[in-house]
C-alpha cells in the first residue's frame, strides 16, 4: 500500500504564493485567511506596503507583521506632524528598506529626512514626485543622509508661491535651484537615474553638475525645465559616457553637431517633446550608429522634419523595440505602409494624434510587426466605414490596444480589429462615442480574455458581456459611460474576478445595481462612485460589512460618512474617502 502523501514544505507553498502575488496581490487574501500557517507565509513574501493617513497609528504592529518589506509608499498625507510620526515608526522598525516613495504628499520635516537617512543605509530609490514642499534645504539633507541613492525622482514639485512676493524671496526659498542640484550631485556618487522635470528654476548648470559629478548616471529626465537649453543637453551627451536614456523638450536639435551625437555611444532611449527636429539631426543619428532600441518624437514641430528624414532613420534602426510618433500630420496610411516594413522588431508602437491614420495602418502593423504586443492609436481616424481589412492577418501576440478618442470608431471597425487581435488582454476605447456593447462583444467572440477594459465617456455602452462569461476581467473603468443598473447586474453575474470598478458620474447607476455587484463580485477591492448621487451612508455600511474584500471606496463628498463611521470601516480594512 502506497504511503500517504506528506504536506508540502513551507518553501514550496512560498513559491506557489509568490506566483499568485505576481498576478495580483489580492490573490493572497484567500490563502492568508485559510490558516495561520498560510498567513505567516503570505506575510513573509510581501515586499511592498502602502500607508495612508487613515492607517491606524502607531503602525509598528503593521510593520512587524510584514518582516520582509523593502519598499514603502506613503500617500495623501497633508499633516507634517502625522507624517513625522509615521516616519519615526518606520525608522524604529526592523525593516531594511531599499525604496521610499512620497509621491504627492505635502512635504517632510527636515528632521524626518535625517531620521530616514540615518536609519536606512541601504536605501537606493527615493521618489519625491509632486512633493508639496521641495527646496534646496531638503536636497542638501537628502544628499547628506542618503549617500547611497541610485534613483532619485524630484519631478513636478507643487510648491505654491505668490509671484508678487517672489522679488522679496530667493528661488531657493520656494523651490529647487542649481545650487541644490550641485550639492546633491557632489555627494550622490552612486546616482544612476534622476528625474528633475518640472523644476522651473533649473538651468544648464544643473545638467553640467550631474554629468560631471555622477559618473554612473544612465538616465536624465528633464522635461518642462524652461531654462535648460541645447548647451546643457549637448554637454550631457558629450560627457556622460554611461548615459542610456535622455528625456527633454523644447530644444532646437538643429544646434547639435555630429561630435555630440557620436559621443553618446550608449544612448538606447531617446524621448523628445515639443522640439525642433530637422532632417539634418535625423541624418546625424543615422550616421552615429548609436544603439537605439526606442525613439519618441512627441508633438515635435512637424515643419522641421520630413517623411524622408523619418524614413531614413527607421530604415537604419530596424531593431527598434518601441516607437512613438505623436501628432505628426504628414503620416498617412500609404507612408506607414512603407515604414512598417522597417519595424519587424517592434514590441510597442504609439501613433496618437496622427489624424490621417486609419485602420489600414493598424492592419499593416499587425501584419508586418510579428513581435508587436501593444498598439496605441488614440485620437487617430479609426472608423470602419470602408473595407480596409482585405489583407488582414491575425497577430496573437498583440495584448494591449489603446484606441481612445477615435470619435468615428464604429462597432464594425471594432469587429475587424478583434478578428485580427484575438488575444487582447487590455482594451481602452474611452471617448469613442460611436460604439456600443456590440463592438466590445466582438473581442469576447474572438476569444480575447480581457483583464482590463476602459470605456470612460462611452455613452453608447450600457452593458457588457451579455451571453459571455467574463471570467478574466479584473478592472473596468466606465466613468461617465452609459452603464446602468441592468448592466451592473450582468457585470455582477459574469465578472467573478472583478477587482476594480470605476462608475464615476454614471447617472443611471443606483444602489439596486450596486447591490448586485457587491453580492456577486467576491474579490472586489476598489470601487469609485464619485458623482453617483443615489448613495447613502447606510448603503456604504452595508457594502463594507457584506463585502470583506473591499479595500477602498471613493464617494461624492455629499455622501461621505462621518469621521467615526469611516474609522469603523477602516477596522474592516476598507478606506472610505472622497476626491
Residue 536, in any domain of the structure:
yes
pLDDT digits (tens, 9 = 90+) for 156-189: 998 765 555 445 466 767 789 999 999 999 999 9
Whether the ω angle into residue 67 lies within 30 degrees of 0, i.e. cis, is no
Query: What separation, in Å, do the N-terminal and C-terminal C-alpha atoms of the chain show?
Result: 64
Which residue, among 431, 420, 489, has the nearest Cα to 461 in the 3D structure?
A: 431
SS (H, E, C) 306-374: CHHHHHHHHHHCCCCCEEEEECCCCCCHHHHHHHHHHCCCCCEEECCCCCCCCHHHHHHHHHHCCCCCE
How far apart, in Å, are the Cα atoms of 295 and each of 197, 273, 343, 408?
A: 19, 11, 12, 29
- Boundary-marking domain end, from 228, 249, 273: 228
Owner of C-alpha cell 521641495: 134
In contact, 167 and 190? CB cutoff 8 Å: no
pLDDT tens per residue, range 252-271: 998 888 888 888 889 999 99
**CA 49, CA 197: separation in Å to the nearest integer?**
26
Count of Cβ atoms closer than 10 Å to residue 283 Cβ: 16
pLDDT at 423 (0 to 100): 96
**CATH number of the structural domain spanning residue 509:** 3.80.10.10
454, 502, 551 from 478: Cα distances, Å:
6, 6, 19
C-alpha cell at 237: 551627451
Q: Which one-letter DSSP state was computed for residue 100?
A: E
pLDDT in tens, 201-220: 999 999 999 999 999 999 99
State the Cα–Cα distance between residues 109 and 83, nearest whole angstrom.
Answer: 9
Q: Are 407 and 383 in contact (CB under 8 A)?
A: no
Q: How confident is the model at residue 129 (pLDDT cuts 50, 70, 90)?
A: very high
Cβ atoms of residues 139 and 107 within 8 Å? no
Map residue 555 onto helix, strand or coil: strand
446 within domain boundaries:
no
Instruction: Report the Cα 277 to chain-centroid distance in Å.
Output: 27
pLDDT tens profile 404-419: 999 999 999 999 999 9
CA distances from 96 to 68, 140, 217, 433, 567 (A): 8, 23, 25, 50, 30
- 41 domain residue, yes or no: no
pLDDT at 4: 44
Burial class (CB in 10 A: 0-12, 13-18, 19+), 465: buried
The residue-averaged pLDDT of 230-237 equals 95
| Structural contact between residues 302 and 274, judged by C-beta atoms closer than 8 angstroms | no
Q: Is 187 contained in some domain?
A: yes
The H or E element containing residue 273 is strand 269-273
C-alpha cell at 441: 462583444
pLDDT of residue 8: 81
Could you give the percent of the chain with pLDDT greater than 90?
65
> 393 with 366: CB under 8 angstroms?
yes
Task: Point out the domain boundary residue: 189, 207, 228.
Answer: 228
Beta bridge partners of 325: 297
What stretches of 93-221 show up as alpha helix (H) in DSSP?
A: 110-119, 136-145, 171-174, 178-187, 204-213
What is residue 2's predicted lDDT score, i.e. its pLDDT? 46
**131 within domain boundaries:** yes
- Write down how long the chain is: 579
Task: For residue 241, tell me if it sits in a domain.
Answer: no
DSSP 7: P
CB 109 within 8 A of CB 93: no
Supply the mean pLDDT for the chain.
Answer: 89
Cα(386)–Cα(389) distance, integer angstroms = 9
pLDDT at 3: 46
Between the CA of residue 384 and those of 150, 227, 378, what are the distances in Å? 49, 45, 15
**Is 1 a residue whose pLDDT tops 70?**
no
Residue 413 falls within a domain, yes or no?
no
For 310-323, give the DSSP string.
HHHHHHH-TT-SEE
In angstroms, what CA-CA distances link 494 with 447, 460, 476? 16, 20, 13
Q: Nearest CA to 140 among 85, 186, 183?
A: 183
Residue 235 falls inside a structural domain? no
Whether residue 467 is predicted with pLDDT greater than 90 in this model: the reply is no
Whether residue 89 contacts residue 63, with contact meaning beta carbons closer than 8 Å, is answered with: yes
Q: What is the mean pLDDT of residues 288-310?
A: 87
> Residue holding cell 524622408?
308
Q: What is the DSSP letter of 233?
A: H
Task: Give the pLDDT band of residue 5 (cuts 50, 70, 90).
Answer: very low
Please give the pLDDT value at position 200.
93
HSE-up of residue 56 (Cα within 13 Å, Cβ side): 13
Q: What is the pLDDT of residue 579?
A: 77
Domain count, the chain: 2
User: Is 382 in contact with 353 (CB distance < 8 Å)?
Assistant: no
Which domain covers residue 214, as residue numbers?
47-159+174-228
Q: What is the pLDDT of residues 331-376, one digit of tens each?
A: 999 999 999 999 999 999 999 999 999 999 999 999 999 999 999 9
Contact 465, 489 (CB under 8 A): no
Domain edge (last residue) among 210, 228, 246:
228
Q: Indicate whether 148 pLDDT > 90.
A: yes
Selected residue with higher pLDDT from 118 and 25: 118
- Model confidence at 84, pLDDT cuts 50, 70, 90, reads confident
Of the spans 70-79, 377-386, 455-464, which averages the highest pLDDT? 455-464
Closest by alpha carbon to 115, among 148, 79, 83, 91? 91
Residues linked to residue 296 through DSSP beta bridges, in sequence order: 271, 324
Amino acid at each position: 500500500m502506497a504511503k500517504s502523501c506528506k504536506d508540502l514544505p513551507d518553501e514550496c507553498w512560498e513559491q506557489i504564493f509568490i506566483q499568485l502575488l505576481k498576478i495580483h496581490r489580492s490573490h493572497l487574501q484567500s490563502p492568508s485567511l485559510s490558516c495561520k500557517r498560510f498567513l505567516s507565509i503570505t506575510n513573509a513574501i510581501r515586499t511592498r506596503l502602502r500607508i495612508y493617513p487613515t492607517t491606524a497609528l502607531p503602525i509598528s504592529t503593521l510593520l512587524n507583521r510584514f518582516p520582509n518589506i523593502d519598499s514603502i509608499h506613503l500617500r495623501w498625507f497633508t499633516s507634517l506632524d502625522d507624517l513625522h510620526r509615521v516616519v519615526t515608526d518606520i525608522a524604529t522598525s526592523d525593516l531594511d528598506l531599499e525604496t521610499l516613495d512620497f509621491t504627492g504628499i505635502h512635504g517632510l520635516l527636515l528632521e524626518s529626512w535625517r531620521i530616514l537617512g540615518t536609519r536606512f543605509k541601504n536605501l537606493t530609490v527615493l521618489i519625491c514626485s509632486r512633493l508639496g514642499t521641495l527646496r534646496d534645504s531638503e536636497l542638501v539633507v537628502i544628499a547628506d543622509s542618503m549617500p547611497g541613492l541610485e534613483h532619485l525622482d524630484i519631478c513636478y514639485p507643487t510648491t505654491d508661491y505668490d509671484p508678487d512676493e517672489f522679488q522679496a524671496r530667493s528661488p531657493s526659498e520656494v523651490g529647487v535651484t542649481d545650487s541644490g542640484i550641485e550639492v546633491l550631485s557632489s555627494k550622490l556618487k552612486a546616482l544612476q537615474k534622476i528625474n528633475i522635470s518640472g523644476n522651473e528654476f533649473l538651468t544648464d548648470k544643473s545638467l553640467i553638475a550631474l554629468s560631471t559629478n555622477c559618473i554612473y548616471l544612465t538616465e536624465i529626465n528633464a522635461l518642462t525645465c524652461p531654462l535648460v537649453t541645447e548647451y546643457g543637453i549637448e554637454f550631457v551627451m558629450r560627457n556622460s559616457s554611461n548615459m542610456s536614456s535622455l528625456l527633454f523638450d523644447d530644444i532646437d536639435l538643429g544646434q547639435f553637431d555630429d561630435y555630440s551625437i557620436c559621443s553618446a555611444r550608449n544612448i538606447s532611449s531617446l524621448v523628445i517633446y515639443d522640439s525642433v527636429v530637422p532632417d539634418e539631426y535625423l541624418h546625424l543619428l543615422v550616421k552615429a550608429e548609436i544603439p537605439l532600441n526606442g525613439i519618441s518624437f512627441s508633438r515635435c514641430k512637424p515643419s522641421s522634419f520630413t517623411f524622408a528624414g523619418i524614413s531614413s532613420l527607421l530604415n537604419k534602426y530596424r531593431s527598434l523595440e518601441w516607437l512613438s510618433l505623436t501628432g505628426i500630420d504628414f503620416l498617412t496610411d500609404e507612408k506607414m505602409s512603407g515604414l512598417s516594413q522597417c519595424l519587424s522588431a517592434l514590441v510597442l508602437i504609439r501613433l496618437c494624434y496622427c489624424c490621417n491614420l486609419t485602420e489600414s495602418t493598424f492592419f499593416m502593423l499587425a501584419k508586418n510587426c510579428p513581435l508587436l504586443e501593444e498598439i496605441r492609436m488614440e485620437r487617430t481616424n479609426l472608423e470602419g466605414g470602408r473595407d480596409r481589412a482585405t489583407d488582414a492577418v491575425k497577430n496573437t501576440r498583440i495584448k494591449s490596444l489603446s484606441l481612445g478618442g477615435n470619435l468615428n470608431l464604429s462597432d464594425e471597425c471594432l469587429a475587424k480589429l478583434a478578428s485580427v487581435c484575438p488575444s487582447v488582454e487590455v482594451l481602452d476605447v474611452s471617448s469613442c462615442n460611436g460604439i456600443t456593447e456590440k463592438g466590445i462583444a466582438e473581442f469576447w467572440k474572438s476569444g480575447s480574455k480581457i483583464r482590463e477594459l476602459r470605456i470612460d465617456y462611452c455613452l453608447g455602452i450600457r452593458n457588457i458581456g451579455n451571453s459571455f462569461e467574463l471570467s478574466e476581467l479584473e478592472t473596468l473603468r466606465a466613468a461617465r459611460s452609459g452603464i446602468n443598473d441592468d448592466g451592473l447586474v450582468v457585470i455582477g453575474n459574469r465578472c467573478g474576478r472583478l477587482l476594480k470598478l470605476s462608475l464615476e458620474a454614471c447617472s443611471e447607476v443606483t444602489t439596486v445595481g450596486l447591490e448586485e455587484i457587491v453580492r456577486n463580485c467576491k474579490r472586489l477591492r476598489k470601487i469609485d462612485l464619485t458623482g453617483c448621487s443615489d448613495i447613502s451612508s447606510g448603503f456604504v455600511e452595508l457594502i463594507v460589512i457584506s463585502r470583506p474584500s473591499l479595500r477602498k471606496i471613493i464617494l461624492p463628498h455629499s455622501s461621505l460618512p462621518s469621521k467615526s463611521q469611516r474609522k469603523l470601516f477602516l477596522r474592516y480594512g476598507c478606506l472610505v474617502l472622497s476626491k
